[in-house]
Amino acid sequence: MVDLLPNYPFIYFGDNARAPYGNKSFDLIYEYTLEGVNFLFDKGCELVVLACNTASAKALRTIQQKDLPRIAPSKRVLGVIRPSTEEIASFTRSGFVGILGTEGTVKSESYLLELAKISPNLQVFQHACPLWVPLIEERQYDTVAGKMIIASDIDLLFKQNKNIDTILLACTHYPIIKSIIHEAVEQRASIIEQGPLVALKLKDYLTRHPEMASRLGNEQPVEFYTTEREDYFNQHASEIYGSIIKSQQIQLS
């Protein structure tokens, strides 16, 4: 996203100390997400993207409809589910699509509801992978046990329908293990990441809303904040980001 929109300032906030969100209650996810949104608003952000499927599924609509009119009517909060569902039909030939996500995302049925409206002809199959985020966070995904868990979840998805030819990774953690997922899928389907889709949709949104684009300021170094220890976050995030990250630890509650 930073590469695609280099002329805008970015502030990243990761609630790493309280992750994963996937197995938490609706009320707790909403509370944590709103705290994060308020933190970013206090840092001067005019537009916030919830780069988390669980938060997008369980908190976005409430924040948009209930909280924004009260706390920041001129600001905007967007999610990652709508951008993904708008594009997924262009990747499938069979019309059979698989969704891999957290328990919270799958149980919300947000993808089923959105795709029923946007692409009603698609056949959509979901599977929750509750162990994947802990495996990624603890760096255990490349072990024998980790690979077995990932392969088992992939097989359970295909057991729902063998004609699935496109799999959406509906969690922003999952691209970290994309090579292992590819190995388990064995060319049965294409693997789609959300990051590029969301970035392109955000670029389009800013083009269609120049009044918002003009309020976002100019290019500046990306700022990183985390609720985790700085040294722990910096080490792992730098590997993913591709350059050295220096974050600041904060405490929300």
Instruction: Residue 224: give its domain's CATH number.
Output: 3.40.50.1860
- Residue 188 sits in the same domain as residue 213: no
- Residue 175 sits in the same domain as residue 158: yes
pLDDT of 228: 92
Q: Is the confidence at residue 220, as pLDDT, over 80?
A: no
Instruction: Tell me whether residue 102 is in a domain.
Output: yes
- Residue 200 sits in the same domain as residue 236: yes
Question: Are the CB atoms for 98 and 144 separated by under 8 Å?
Answer: no
Cα angle 46, 224, 238; round to 5: 140
- Residue 71 sits in the same domain as residue 109: no
- Residue 98 sits in the same domain as residue 128: yes
Instruction: Tell me whether residue 6 is in a domain.
Output: no
Q: Is the confidence at residue 240, as pLDDT, over 90?
A: no
**Distance in angstroms between the alpha carbons of the first and the last residue of the chain:** 29
pLDDT of 1: 79
For CA atoms 129, 97, 63, 15, the dihedral sign is positive
Instruction: Tell me whether residue 4 is in a domain.
Output: no
Instruction: Tell me whether residue 5 is in a domain.
Output: no
Instruction: Tell me whether residue 140 is in a domain.
Output: yes
Token match 């997924």: residue? 88
CA distance 41 to 65: 17
Q: What is the pLDDT of residues 158-194, one digit of tens each?
A: 999 999 999 999 999 999 999 999 999 999 999 999 9
Q: What is the pLDDT of residues 99-146, one digit of tens each?
A: 999 999 999 999 999 999 999 999 999 999 999 999 998 899 999 999
Q: Is 101 exposed, middle or buried (0-12, 13-18, 19+ CB in 10 A)?
A: buried
Mean pLDDT score across all residues of the chain: 94
Residue 43: domain span: 11-81+196-249
- Residue 101 sits in the same domain as residue 163: yes
- Residue 129 sits in the same domain as residue 180: yes
Q: Which two tokens stand for residue 53?
A: 């499927």
Instruction: Tell me whether residue 59 is in a domain.
Output: yes
- Residue 134 sits in the same domain as residue 42: no
pLDDT of 84: 95
Q: What single letter denotes the amino acid at residue 48?
A: V
- Residue 229 sits in the same domain as residue 137: no
pLDDT of 158: 98
Q: What is the mean pLDDT of residues 90-103?
A: 97
Supply the pTM of this predicted model: 0.91
Last residue of a domain, one of 172, 193, 214: 193
- Residue 99 sits in the same domain as residue 153: yes
Active site residues: 52, 171
pLDDT of 239: 84
pLDDT of 226: 96
More confident site: 102 or 1: 102
- Residue 77 sits in the same domain as residue 150: no
More confident site: 22 or 81: 81
More confident site: 1 or 46: 46
Confidence of residue 218 (pLDDT cuts 50, 70, 90): confident
Q: Is the confidence at residue 18, as pLDDT, over 80?
A: yes
Q: What is the mean pLDDT of residues 76-89?
A: 96
Question: What percentage of the chain carries pLDDT values higher than 90?
Answer: 87
- Residue 71 sits in the same domain as residue 106: no
Instruction: Tell me whether residue 74 is in a domain.
Output: yes
Q: What is the mean pLDDT of residues 214-237?
A: 89
Confidence of residue 7 (pLDDT cuts 50, 70, 90): confident
Instruction: Tell me whether residue 184 is in a domain.
Output: yes
Give the total number of structural domains in the chain: 2
